[in-house]
Amino acid sequence: MADAAMNVEPRRGSTVSADTRRCPTCGAHYPPDFLVCPKDATSLEAPTGADADPLIGEVLAGSYKIIELLGSGGMGRVYVAQHLRIPRRFAVKIMHDQLAAHAEAVARFEREAQAVARITNDHVIDIVDVVRVQGRAALITELLEGEELGLYLDRAGKLPLPQAIAICRQVCRGLAAAHAVKVVHRDLKPSNLFVMTRDDGSLHVKILDFGVAKLVDGTELTGSGMLLGTPAFMAPEQALGARDVDHRADIYALGAVLYQSLTGQLPFPDDDPARTLARLLTEDPRRPRDIDSRIPAGVEALIQKAMAREPEARPKSALEFDRLLAAFDEPGRSERVPSLPHVSRATLQAMDTMAAPISSDLADDATKKARRARPAALLLAVITSLLAGVAALTCAVVSLRTLLHVTAFNELQTILLALLAALAASFALLGSLRVLVTRWRSAPAIERLGEGLRNAVLWYLVPLGLLALAARVYAALAVIPYTLPAAREEYLRIFDLVLVMIPTLLGGVMMVLGLRRARRT
């Protein structure tokens, strides 16, 4: 599993000045002229600076002077740099020494710059320059003030619905811009989403860390079968190591982000990455409404649609996902909330309780549709099984009369025909119930099942009605001359057989296809 590149943005309270003294007891930092800690009178350590970090004070490309360390991650360290000619600060991400010697790591590091440079959108981190320092690659990016969504969720647990919808809609816009220039993120997760607060109090989200992004029209830097990304937010096709992973993998990941934001839990909570990968390939996540019943059924269905196993069952694009989310957005409320880093868990619960019901007709329709999906599929399963029994019985009776010229059935034949009808009905019912039970958590799978069963009923009844009408017309017009009564009678018998066989075959095929599609969704 590849280690995702470290985020390049600062976290409040995490900066370390180049010229400070540290208290070894309480860990506080003080100006260099302090000798003891004012809190506990402990002697302070020597000032940190160039001796502690040789990059502090370094000037990059003649313009960016490194002045503070922000943090360290898997790929490198992040600093604050002051521009020497304009009053502006930037973030600088510099590779670790041990990684700078690996060509693939360097290529991935530089690919992040190439990927982000293609994207022009206010919801994607802006890379200003790519330079080298002491033989290592360095990315110069805008300096952001705020907090990663992942850190916030770790502290607060989850988000109220309006804020979660607002954040995901902004991410959709950033993803749409990336996908428009053939860039697939492939590692979207809360820790790669940076939440800031505008001057008017509204939220603003930036997508970070394109270190494992895929340039759709470029060359892959990883071998076949190598997994890149985070298992908890990885699409099934990405977990299988497919080389044709496209923008729909990002839509799956965003669905997982929305899942965690609203429930406070990962879709597949497991400490073992291998078990997580196995579960996302074979199981459906726990229903969000089972965790928090206040989540609207329509939002739950939308999350499950985004996290469908088959890419074809997900929203076709980030813009479509944004449009679907818009039905549950509350204009003027969803983005205007207190700054996330300062909202306590109790405040969030109060905000969630006071949230006004969503009045959008689209939201109401989506919620009603999601609530009806399971009862409708169950009813269709019963109807389809009854039709299957009737169709099997009719086919058997007509076949015996047409091919064997049986005009009356004895008791044994009647019992056998009844058993045949019961077996056909049971087979259809058990097939439907199997999908209903195994995919009950997934609204998209249940909708696919309902659609397949509905098509099976229509493809049985409609051709049956049309053929029956044709048979009536045939008999009324007496297409076969009365001078050939025997031939006419034979044609009518064959027509009766075709009348029931074709609709039964069509209905059976549509039912099998519907069951298979529902299992894969």
Which residues belong to the active site?
187
Are 268 and 244 contacting, i.e. CB atoms less than 8 angstroms apart? Answer: no
User: What residue spans of 212-357 are helical by DSSP H?
Assistant: 236-239, 248-263, 273-282, 288-291, 297-306, 318-326, 345-354
Tokens of 58: 């370094």
Taking the C-alpha atoms of residue 172 and residue 178, their distance in angstroms, rounded to an integer, is 10
Taking the C-alpha atoms of residue 190 and residue 205, their distance in angstroms, rounded to an integer, is 11
Q: What three-state secondary structure class fits 286? A: coil
Q: What three-state secondary structure class fits 74? A: coil
Residue type, 2: A
Paired sense of beta strands 89-95 and 64-72, if any: unpaired
Tokens of 407: 């005009």
Element (H, E) at 92: strand 89-95
Instruction: State how far the alpha carbon of 167 is from the alpha carbons of 160, 258, 265, in Å.
Output: 11, 9, 17
Taking the C-alpha atoms of residue 307 and residue 254, their distance in angstroms, rounded to an integer, is 8
User: What residue spans of 327-360 are helical by DSSP H?
Assistant: 345-354
Find how far residue 511's CA is from the centre of its chain: 28
Taking the C-alpha atoms of residue 23 and residue 70, their distance in angstroms, rounded to an integer, is 19
